[in-house]
Structure 1
Amino acid sequence: MKHVKALAIKIIVSLILLYLILGGMYGMSFGNVLFITIVLGMVSYTIGDLLILPRTNNLVASLADFGLALMVIWLMSSVFPNNGNGFLMSLIASLGVALFESIYHKYISKNVINNSQSIYNYTGNLRYQTEASEELTPQRAEYKNEDKEK
């Protein structure tokens, strides 16, 4: 249930944000913005929030979401008719998405991802132990006795 709530928050806020940028500034229709938002939300939640964020930090996950959003918005908007430069439009929209994602990752880290059970957490206090012995290579007992007699 946590994932459904988190994904719903992501899609709703992304839809509002992308409609303001893509629809308001560049005249893209609501249906096209909705389709881009749903695809981007599913892909970025799976890759950015569930795979990258638990293994790294907020900055790395936000940069990954920026690149992912730029690719998805640029590729999908190139299929739809629009009034303007497709790359510039995608760049501005992905910057907005990355800013939202940096705030959203704090929510995800606190409420969805259970960091106490993660195997990827770095404790910062690794303690290594070494063993030492008298000899570098083991010798049989009969050879040890010969060495002692000499």
Structure 2
Amino acid sequence: MKHLTAIAIKFIACLVLLYVVLGLFFGMAFTNIFVISLVLGVASYLLGDMLILPRTNNVTATIADFGLSFALLWLLTLNMTVGVSTFGISLVAAIGVTLFEFFFHQYLKKNIVDGDSTINNRGELPRLQYSAENAEEFAPVKPDVRSPEGNNNEEKQK
């Protein structure tokens, strides 16, 4: 239930922010803004907030969210508009989303990420310790093959 609340907060905030930037300033249709907000909200929540934020700090996750939001906004606005330079529009919208993400990460750290039992006291996921098993060989090498004296014994036995 905590995750659904967080996704709803993120979606509504992105919808309002993108409506102001894309809708009021650049005249994009509300249905396009709704789709962009939905895709951006789910993708950045899964990648930035649930994957990157628990393993790093707020600044790193915010920078990663800027890259993700800029790329998604640029690709989606490029496909939804005709004859408009979408680079500047996407950059302005991504900066706005990134400012929101910085404060949203603080909310997540306090309410969701720290409550997760897989995270230790320092806010990091536990390190997985992999090791290989060392064992004797199934058929050990006979002593007569290794040493020069063993070769002489083999010749004497023949």
Query: Structure 2-normalised TM-score?
Result: 0.73
Equivalent residue number for residue 84 of structure 1: 84
Equivalent residue number for residue 2 of structure 1: 2
Amino acid at match of 1:65: D
1:122 and 1:37, CA in 2 relative to 1: closer, same or farther beyond 3 A? closer
CA contact (8 A) 1:27 1:83 kept: no
- Cα distance per residue 1:37-96 (max 9 Å; x no partner): 000000000000000000111100001000000000000111112563201000000000
1:114 Cα deviation (Å)? Answer: 2.3
1:120 and 1:51, CA in 2 relative to 1: closer, same or farther beyond 3 A? farther
Equivalent residue number for residue 121 of structure 1: 122
Tell me the matched-pair count: 123
- Structure 2 residue 113 is the aligned partner of structure 1 residue 105: no
Take 2:110 and 2:90, find their aligned partners in 1: how far apart are those partners?
Answer: 30
Gaps of 5+ in 1: 124-150
CA contact (8 A) 1:26 1:83 kept: no
Amino acid at match of 1:102: F
Give the fraction of aligned pairs with identical amino acids, expressed as a percent.
Answer: 45
Take 1:122 and 1:3, find their aligned partners in 2: how far apart are those partners?
Answer: 18
- Cα distance per residue 1:94-128 (max 9 Å; x no partner): 000000000000000000112673159379xxxxx
> How do 1:18-97 and structure 2 match up within 5 A?
18-81=18-81, 84-97=84-97
Take 2:28 and 2:43, find their aligned partners in 1: how far apart are those partners?
Answer: 21
1:26 and 1:112, CA in 2 relative to 1: closer, same or farther beyond 3 A? same
Take 1:17 and 1:82, find their aligned partners in 2: how far apart are those partners?
Answer: 22
Poorly superposed stretches of 4+, deviation over 3 Å? 119-123
Query: Structure 1-normalised TM-score?
Result: 0.77
* Structure of greater relative contact order (alpha carbons < 8 Å, 6+ residues apart): 1
Larger of the two Rg values belongs to structure: 2
Aligned-pair Cα RMSD in Å? 1.8
Amino acid at match of 1:95: I
CA contact (8 A) 1:36 1:76 kept: yes
